[in-house]
Structure 1
Amino acid sequence: MAGIPPSKSDRREQAREKAAALRAEQLKREARGRRITLLSIIVGLVIVAGLIAFVVISGNKKVNVNPDASAPTTAVGINGGISFGADGVAGTSNDGAIVVETYLDFLCPWCAKFEAENTANLDEFREAGEITLVVHPISMLSGGDKTAYSSRAASAFAYVADNAPDKALAFSTALYTNQPPETGDGLSDDEIVDLAKGAGVPEDVAKAAVGNQFADWAILQYQEAAARTELLDAQSRFTTPTIVIDGEKFTGNATSADEFRAALETAIAGGGSTPADDANADQ
């Protein structure tokens, strides 16, 4: 027996119920969409806030360099560098000798190669009283960050120059011999302390050397050097190592001991340095 077909009023009621169900489902979808949108906005704001905080913190590290930062007391050499005379003690000089300036970053691989090849030459002529060595420990590869390795190492060297001046050159050699990769965080403060102690620096001085007292000064040393056009290369860049012999930039092969020695001998003889090509410079 066939069922009784729904009445017109029943069909209308069913239609209303179906429409209500569809509307309820639509409202659920819209509510879900609003929640997702709101959550996305919140996440986005958190990310933006984090980025702003990162930029501010990074900017504070890089920008807040004190233009009147104190230099180490041993920075009595030409252009504010740390001078070394015959006895190898920071803050001393050789009367009547030509001046050899080195602008070096303790994180620069080419600077380490320069030191490895030419420390013997520099020591020989310095100890003979024929040159005064003036070291500029600059923070170039830090990008202006006072907590980066270039800044920390330069500051530690400057502190040792002031407080254990007869150990500064040995400490410098230790920093280059144990140079970390150019990328990365560099040596830790504890590792720098150990290197200083290994170079004969008293323990109390070694521990205090990582206080970053001269980080601002090391960054300023770089900024001042980079502003001197006579120190720039053919592309108007300041690179490391930069060596100045008797007032003339050495543009020869910084990792050739023979070439560098010849330039020193020429300058000592009164003829000035005779640089060749501008090679082996770190950006």
Structure 2
Amino acid sequence: MTNRPEGDSRAARNERREAARQRAQRARTQQKRRQRGLRLGLQIGLGVVLLAAATIVTLVLVDSVKPAGPGPSNMAQGGITIGQDLKAVTASGSPAPTATDGSGAVRITMYVDYFCPTCGEFEQANGDYIESLVDSGAATVDIHPVATLSNRSQGTKYSLRAANAAACVADHSPNQFFAVNAALFAKQPEQGTAGLTDAQITRAVTGVSGLEQRSAITKCIQEQTYSKWVDERTTAVTDGDIPGSSLREFPGVPLVLVNGQRYELTSPITNDDFRTFVVTAAGATEATPTPTPSSTGSTTPSATPSE
């Protein structure tokens, strides 16, 4: 065996220890780099996921608050005004929604839901009477279709679909709106049922004599063109935005006003009671606006004793 100086042996051991220490240091450095890379990858991946989720949520929120767009022509305030000869007061000549129309005619304002049984009862009792007043020029009527009962038709949202159909008529055939309003009540389904299908609504609407732009109305009903607008108007009304009224809270449907005064429904609903209210609201005591036949067979507005 060759004898080596003790110093050489110690130096060799120190070199080996230093080499081992450096290898360990390099291994630790590489491990830290791998860990930092893994953390960075996880952070980037998580960031991508969060960004994608935030984008989806933003798109959903934007879509949910997207404005409904312009409503139908002739319904700037959510209702359509019907005047003499049952003709619509078109957008260009539509008066502001006030208690009276300024002409001396009685102004009747109605908020109705086509799925509301009480609305149907009011229409049955007073529809012909209101028609005679409006046709003669003794009154005007503002009709506001709303959808307050959309959750009572087994998920079909019949109230909303029926009100949309009425809005389609206001846009495309306004002079037949009064007749379509009556037709929708004539076909009113029972509350709690699924209501009419879109095809049945279309048949009820397009069956009205004199209807114009039938294909456009049919498409409007099928595509639910004004459903979002109806929903927004309904929300506004139930929140207290009630054109033609000084009310600050919506009492529910039907809401009927005569010259701005609210008509309190009776049970049962009768035409005699409503006639009396019209007399009072019009400022009369013994007479009510009714159509009187003229010598030519037409009708002209006149105040004659109520029977």
For normalisation by structure 1, the TM-score amounts to 0.64
The equivalent of 2:251 in structure 1 is 238
Instruction: State the partner residue of 1:134.
Output: 142
Residue 257 of structure 2 corresponds to residue 249 of structure 1: no
1:134 to 1:128, Cα distance in 2 relative to 1, 3 A: same
Structure 1: gaps spanning 5 or more residues: 1-59, 272-283
Task: Provide the residue aligned with 1:149 in structure 2.
Answer: 158
CA-CA distance at 1:266 after TM superposition = 2.0
Note the alpha carbon deviations across 1:224-282, whole angstroms, 9 max, x for none: 222229647xxx763211111111111132721111111112222368xxxxxxxxxxx
How far apart in 2 are the matches of 1:237 and 1:65?
A: 23
- Are residues 231 and 87 of structure 1, via their aligned partners in 2, closer, same or farther at CA, if it must alter by over 3 Å? same
Partner of 1:40: none
* Aligned-partner residue type, residue 208 of structure 2: A
CA deviation map 1:153-210 (0-9, x unaligned): 1011111112111221111111111111211321111111111121133431341231
**Matches of 2:189 and 2:64, distance apart in 1:** 26
- 2:274 match: 260
Shift in alpha-carbon separation, 1:130–1:267, aligned structure 2, 3 A: farther
**Against the structure 1 CA distance between its residues 237 and 165, is the aligned structure 2 distance closer, same or farther, given a 3 Å change threshold?**
closer
**Alpha-carbon distance between aligned partners in 2 of 1:223 and 1:114, rounded to the nearest angstrom:** 23
Letter of the 1:158 partner, please give it: A
Greater CA drift, 152-161 or 179-188: 179-188
Where structure 2 has 5 or more consecutive residues not aligned to the other structure, the ranges are 1-59, 95-100, 286-307
After superposition, residues 1-283 of structure 1 pair within 5 angstroms as: 64=64, 66-76=66-76, 79-92=77-90, 95-143=103-151, 148-200=157-209, 201-202=211-212, 203-210=214-221, 211-228=223-240, 231=247, 238-253=251-266, 255-269=269-283
- What is the distance in 1 between the residues matched to 2:236 and 2:264? 20
Indicate the SS of the match to 1:87.
helix
CA distance in 1, matches of 2:259, 2:130: 13
CA distance in 2, matches of 1:96, 1:68: 36
Letter in 1 for 2:219: A
Question: Number of aligned pairs?
Answer: 205
For the 8 Å contact 1:75–1:91, the answer to whether it is kept is: no
Q: What's the TM-score once normalised by structure 2's chain length?
A: 0.59
Two-structure CA RMSD over aligned residues (Å):
2.9
Provide, for residues 31-77 of structure 1, a one-character-per-residue CA deviation record: whole Å limited to 9, x for no partner: xxxxxxxxxxxxxxxxxxxxxxxxxxxxx8xx93655532211115x
| Contact persistence 2:152–2:191 (CA under 8 A) | no
Contact 2:237 2:250 in 1 (8 A): no
